[in-house]
Structure 1
Amino acid sequence: MEKRERSSNFTESEKELLLNIVTDSFFEVIENKKTDSVTIKKKNETWDLVAVSFNAMTTNIARNGIQLNTAYNNIKRKLKKDKADDKVQIYKTGGGPLKSPKVNDMQDRFLSLLKLQFEPLRRRFDSSRNYIINVTIEERRASGQHCIHFKGKIYSQRENLLYSIVDSPRYTVDTRF
């Protein structure tokens, strides 16, 4: 494995230029999640085209496709972290002014393209969902479990479950603990 040659850091203008080039022309190929040999070869060729476009628009050091790919992935990683930090700041308690967001307009536009990668999937059923079971109070008493009735629901202290009451003429409240 050859040793990587160190080059100068990317400036903010170079980062913005890289994001503009990628999002304007090559986004679908670069963000393709397939990992077969044809797709990988096409991605490498695309990064070489990005390097040609990038080097034509800058007067700084010439960059190759591998360097631009690494920089692009680092930018994405940092944006994801900054977006998460901004979200934490929004929900923080303790008063005081809200810290200014770390993500600027250009980065926000880029994040909107990557929205599916940065936001979790919405699940209909989750492990934190309340488990609702229809029972009558008589059925709960017959099973020997103690419960308390409030607002049309039964809460079992032993099981930490919330039960919904089925229409029944006998709503006797059992408050034994």
Structure 2
Amino acid sequence: MKPATITIGVLVLLLAAIAVYLLAATSPVPLPGETACTLEAKLCPDGSYVGRTSPNCEFAACPGMATTSSGGGIAPYKSGIRGTVMLGPTCPVERIPPDPACEDRPYQTLIIVFRASDPVHAIAFAKSDAKGMFAVSLPPGEYVVGAGESNLPQCSQLQTTVEPDAYTDVLVSCDTGIR
């Protein structure tokens, strides 16, 4: 064999080895015990939404109890969060005395509930109705309630406590940005 043929063969083998190494080094390898699920949501027949949960990233079960079209829930709890979403200001200038046409208005939007200990993974979704009202059935515990489907209007996030056999009332304020 010619030395040039041997040199080309060695270079081809070396390049192939480097390519295999680079592909293996850049491939995501899941860590043992960790599962990363996508943030997709599934619309349930009752109008609520459920997300994916570990360990297999399957969608959580849709609520088994009957709920209104404005709410969602996790069955079979007799506790949870209910509230109203209000949008304001609606006029660029505050007047004294206040102008009734400029009062905050109910806001129909997506409601997202997180455990206070895990504000990244949503555990319940609901939709406020035309009157801004919503309800979500939850077990007793600490929760963060958020609202809105985009950056504007900017809605506040509220931390609240759900007691056994009771619904906690909240008022979620969304800022229109009008000044």
TM range (shorter): under 0.3
Structure with the higher fraction of residues in helix conformation: 1
Question: What TM-score do the two structures reach when normalised by structure 1?
Answer: 0.25
Question: What TM-score do the two structures reach when normalised by structure 2?
Answer: 0.25
Structure number with the bigger relative contact order (C-alpha 8 A, sep ≥ 6) is: 2
